Structure 1
Amino acid sequence: MAKHSRLETLAAIKSIGLVPVFYKPEAEKVCRIAAACAEGGAKVVEFTNRGDRAIDVFKELAYYRDEKLPELIIGAGSVSDGSTAAMYIAAGADFIVSPILDRETALLCNKRKIPYSPGCGSATEIHNAHELGVEICKIFPGAQVGGPAFAKAIKAPMPWTELMPTGGVSPTDESLEEWFSAGIAAAGIGSKLIKGSFTSEEEYEKLTEKAAEIIRKISEIRARL
């Protein structure tokens, strides 16, 4: 089951502003990547369900979280149906992320008090997600649905909406400024943050530094808004 409560997880996502998104088939690398992100302040991470037996790797991450890094908040991404969501919740996921809005998954997560962030690309999808108990909607794919302009346009008539784009967010001053100025709650960043083979200590150290740098930039941007 989840180690962190729904409210704690949602508050952490909004407070930190960054959710690293990644997949690796090797459990050891996954645990070390998550630890490197957390060391840099990004203690909320999303492991994507994209490879064969990804659930087995996630279970190892959950064991690592429970035994070594209890402050780490781990989510499962690329989850498109309720049965897969149930599998990851049973394995210890603190939150579930999907590329689509799936009613079955939303209801399951709501019953279990697990945050669910479905991929939405229109005002109607966001409205439907709210009706199903979603707190933070994932904008996906972020760049293709309109980028920061989409987020700003949604927030105008629906200011209560909390958005987290994935895809289209770069760890640059310009990109972060555009997105957070548009009113997003947090940003999911994948391959533009977590890249490389991770075969050396230096790569993990660089990831920690990069995560810390992005969080600092987000804090500075928010302070100006």
Structure 2
Amino acid sequence: MARFMRLDVTNTLLDTGILPLFYNGEVETAIELVSACVRGGARAIEFTNRGEMAYPVFTELVKHFAKADPSVILGVGSIIDAPTAALFLASGANFIVGPSFNPEISRLCNRRKVLYLPGCSTENEISAAEELGAEICKIFPGESAGGPGFISAVMAPCPWHRLLPTGGVDATEASIGEWIKAGAAAVGLGSKLISGQAVKDKDYDGITAKTAQCVGWVQSARGGSVFSGVEHIGLYAHKSTPEALSAWYEQTFDLKRKEGNSSFFVSGAGAGRIEFPKAVAEAPVHLAVRVTNFEAAAAKLQAKGISLKDVNLKPDAKSGYLDLADPEGNLVHLLWLPKR
């Protein structure tokens, strides 16, 4: 049974702008590939029904991430008939993707409030799918259907379309930018993102890095700033201890506190966190500015004559302090985290 409703999955895809897709017949490898994409900022992952082990592997993926990371949205692709769709829905698929449009699958998914992305290659197919409730239509094969030019052509008279091209989308800034600027709501990325060589080499960090780049390129193509807002404020304990100071905020405002290796974090249901570093600095506070693409953000600052120091790059987090304080003497650092 699906854990995510249709609108939740729709909004997630529209937000992140990418849908990684792959098939692998080994459970452990499939888990690593999903995890790599999630660390890079993807939240919905399509596991394609393209091999004999598709069903048992997908079932194990659902079980694993239900415990390891319940925020991961798993769906199934390459579905062409309603009975197969029903089988995977019963196993926990949160969305169904097809290479073609099947009205029976539409009715089945509508009944279960599950997102169905039918494969379409003409305006007539898109309109027919939308009449049966399709929130997002997969344009497949994207390049053969007409490429970005097809997207812009059908969006002109029908700007309400939400289209996700797959096939012909490269994991490059130029390709992703062209599709998004043409009007694509999101893009599907298969072997261009999760290459056979990367899987063979177990280069999961490389897949994470490329996923993060793709998410950033989507946001840039949409005209959004790479600087997305304040991620947290860091308060230094000059008159008490980090533990005591963080405990005060936790108890006073009914927030949740979590201890890490170098600091305590306090947060609630809303956006933003407070960090209490264990190491004391002369500055009263530091500010963390969240970015959608760390490398692009660093380049923008460099163009303004501002460099980064103490840069720390990890698959699941990237940070670096500006080499100058703000006018009040406060420290500022960039922070990239997977989009969750």
- Give the TM-score band, short-chain normalised: over 0.9
Gaps of 5+ in 1: none
2:13 and 2:144 map into 1 onto residues whose CA distance is 23
User: Aligned residue for 1:70?
Assistant: 70
User: Aligned residue for 1:6?
Assistant: 6
Q: Does 1:82 align with 2:99?
A: no
User: Aligned residue for 1:187?
Assistant: 187
Which letter does structure 1 place at the counterpart of 2:106?
A
Residue pair 2:48, 2:76 contacting (<8 A) in 1 also: yes
User: Aligned residue for 2:61?
Assistant: 61
1:156 and 1:120 map into 2 onto residues whose CA distance is 17
- CA distances 1:92-141 after superposition (whole Å, capped 9, x unpaired): 00100000000111100010000000110111000100111000000000
User: Aligned residue for 1:141?
Assistant: 141
SS, match of residue 20 in structure 2: strand
Which letter does structure 1 place at the counterpart of 2:199?
F
1:91 and 1:224 map into 2 onto residues whose CA distance is 37
Question: Percent identity over the alignment?
Answer: 45
User: Aligned residue for 2:208?
Assistant: 208
Which letter does structure 2 place at the counterpart of 1:11?
N
User: How much has 1:6 moved relative to structure 2?
Assistant: 1.2
SS, match of residue 143 in structure 1: helix
User: How much has 1:38 moved relative to structure 2?
Assistant: 0.4
* Structure (1/2) with the larger strand percentage: 2
1:215 and 1:164 map into 2 onto residues whose CA distance is 14
| 1:67-146 equivalence runs, <5 A | 67-146=67-146
Q: Does 1:17 align with 2:14?
A: no
Q: Does 1:173 align with 2:139?
A: no
Residue pair 2:44, 2:72 contacting (<8 A) in 1 also: yes
Which letter does structure 2 place at the counterpart of 1:13?
L
Structure number with higher relative contact order (C-alpha < 8 Å, ≥ 6 residues apart): 1
User: How much has 1:71 moved relative to structure 2?
Assistant: 0.8
Which letter does structure 1 place at the counterpart of 2:118?
P
User: How much has 1:198 moved relative to structure 2?
Assistant: 2.9
User: Aligned residue for 2:50?
Assistant: 50
2:126 and 2:218 map into 1 onto residues whose CA distance is 24
2:201 and 2:143 map into 1 onto residues whose CA distance is 32
CA separation of 1:145/1:9 partners in 2, compared to 1, >3 Å: closer, same or farther? Answer: same
1:217 and 1:132 map into 2 onto residues whose CA distance is 32
2:61 and 2:154 map into 1 onto residues whose CA distance is 35
User: Aligned residue for 2:27?
Assistant: 27
SS, match of residue 222 in structure 2: helix
SS, match of residue 199 in structure 2: coil
1:134 and 1:43 map into 2 onto residues whose CA distance is 20
User: How much has 1:10 moved relative to structure 2?
Assistant: 0.5
Which letter does structure 2 place at the counterpart of 1:170?
D
Gaps of 5+ in 2: 226-340
User: How much has 1:197 moved relative to structure 2?
Assistant: 5.5
* Structure (1/2) with the larger helix percentage: 1
SS, match of residue 220 in structure 1: helix
Aligned residue-pair number: 224
User: How much has 1:34 moved relative to structure 2?
Assistant: 0.3
User: How much has 1:41 moved relative to structure 2?
Assistant: 0.4
- For normalisation by structure 1, the TM-score amounts to 0.97
